[in-house]
Amino acid sequence: MRLVGEHKAKKGLIRIEIEEENGIARKVMISGDFFIYPESVVDELEKTLEGVRVEDIEGKLDEFFSIRHDVEMPYISVEDFKIAIRKALEERK
């Protein structure tokens, strides 16, 4: 099942697509018009979230950003990513 969630943050759109199979995020794609540095963080985050049970994705996101203190995200926050994830997961209901 393909789940898509979008959230318009203060300065940019965050779009998260989750290919879910049997409750597991098989593929995660993060896109949008936001700024994040270093840019490679998006790829790392996608890989971190893949293979995770969909109900555990928010916790894994928190864990990822709690150890990555080098990430700069002007005008967006971890909470903005969580909102996009929640919107994607609403499609499962």
pLDDT digits (tens, 9 = 90+) for 6-55: 999 998 999 999 999 999 999 999 999 999 999 999 999 999 999 999 99
CB-CB contact of 36 with 42 (8 Å):
yes
0.85 exceeded by the pTM?
yes
Residue 85: what pLDDT?
Answer: 96
Range of the domain at 59: 2-91
- Residue 63: CB atoms within 10 A of its CB come to 12
Q: Find the CATH number of the domain harbouring 9.
A: 3.30.390.50
Count of domains for the chain: 1
Q: Quick check: 59 pLDDT over 90?
A: yes
User: Rounded to whole angstroms, what are the CA distances from 2 to 27, 61, 66, 83?
Assistant: 9, 19, 28, 17
